[in-house]
Amino acid sequence: MGKKSDVVLPAREYAPLEARTDIVAWTKGREARAREEAIAIEMVKNLRDQVSWCQRKHPVTHYYDCAELVGKYLKLVRDPLRGVKLPGAASEE
């Protein structure tokens, strides 16, 4: 058997029992989470296209010219949440 990965995914944050009894609020929260996930997926796709375009534009020096874009792309791809901003979470900015 292979060695288990050391990657620890964040635990899903479930709403408290009181919030789950209000079906309207629960549904709105679920829709907000789905919307944020869709936006994050599109951001990753957009950044991937930008990296591809930059590498085609600078075929010889793309290691230097595209380093910033590649860094942003790798940061998002390595993040298990893909940059999703959770509702109610504290903002880092």
Is the separation of the CB atoms in 25 and 47 below 8 Å? no
Tens digits of residue pLDDT in 20-59: 677 888 788 888 888 888 988 999 999 999 999 999 999 9
Report the pLDDT value the prediction gives residue 1, as an integer from 0 to 100: 45
Report the pLDDT value the prediction gives residue 93, as an integer from 0 to 100: 45
Residues 84, 28: Cα–Cα separation, whole Å = 16
Report the pLDDT value the prediction gives residue 49, as an integer from 0 to 100: 96
Extents of the domains making up the chain: 37-84
Report the pLDDT value the prediction gives residue 26, as an integer from 0 to 100: 79
Report the pLDDT value the prediction gives residue 27, as an integer from 0 to 100: 84
**What band does 10 get if pLDDT is binned at 50, 70 and 90?**
low
Structure tokens at 30: 């679920």
